[in-house]
Amino acid sequence: MKEFMLIFRLKDIEDFKPTPEQVQERLNWLAGIAAQNKLADQGNSLLPFPGSAKTVRPDSVVTDGPYTEIKEFIVGYIVVRTDTIDEAVAMAKENPIFKLGGNIEIREVLKHKGS
């Protein structure tokens, strides 16, 4: 089994506050992975709001949020346990984030030894 991190991105900060229906949809999706015993880490949400998000650049330049130069921002991640990346991709395809114009990046986790 390999582990893959699913990294969620949104385009509109307003979409970060989900409706109760959206919460339920997301939870159904996440629990569906857990029900297959393939959820390695339920992950966390990453707050994109001013005061909760800053970026440090060379020469100690600090900007608010990650979203001054790019059009989309990371809102959270989870880690799944599957045999292949294709299986992780199939899981990602069922996530409701696409209804909001978001996207999901999938990355194989290379574990550092001794950690």
Partner 1 sequence: MIALLCRHFGLQHIEIAEDIIGETFLKASENWAINGVSENPAAWLYSVAKNRAKDHLKRVTLFETKIAGNIKPDVTETEPDFEFGSEHIEDSQLAMIFAVCDPVNSTESQVCLALQILCGFTVEEIANAFLSRIETIKKRLHRARTHLRNSHFQIRGLSEANIKLRLDSVLKTLYLLFNEGYFSKTNDQLIRNELCAEAIRLTLMLTENPLTDTPQTKALLALMCYQASRLEARTNDSGEIVLFDEQDHSLWNKALIEKGNYYLVNACQGNQASKYHLEAGIAYWHTNPAAPDKWQHILQLYNQLIIIEYSPVTALNRAFAIARVYGHEKAILEAEKLQLNDNDHYHKLLGYLYETINTGKAIDHYSLAAQLTKAKAARRVLEKKIKQLQA
User: In the structure, how many helices (H) and strands (E) does the chain have?
Assistant: 2, 6
Applying CB under 8 A, does 70 fall inside the site for partner 1?
no
The interface with partner 1 within residues 24-43 (CB under 8 A) comprises 24, 27-28, 30-32, 34-37, 39, 42
Which of 59-90 are b and which e, b meaning 16 or more Cβ less than 10 Å from the residue's Cβ?
eeeeeebebeeeeebbbbbbbbbbeeeebbee
Of 38 and 67, CB closest to partner 1: 38
Stretch that binds partner 1, among 3-11, 23-31, 60-68, 104-112 (CB under 8 A): 23-31
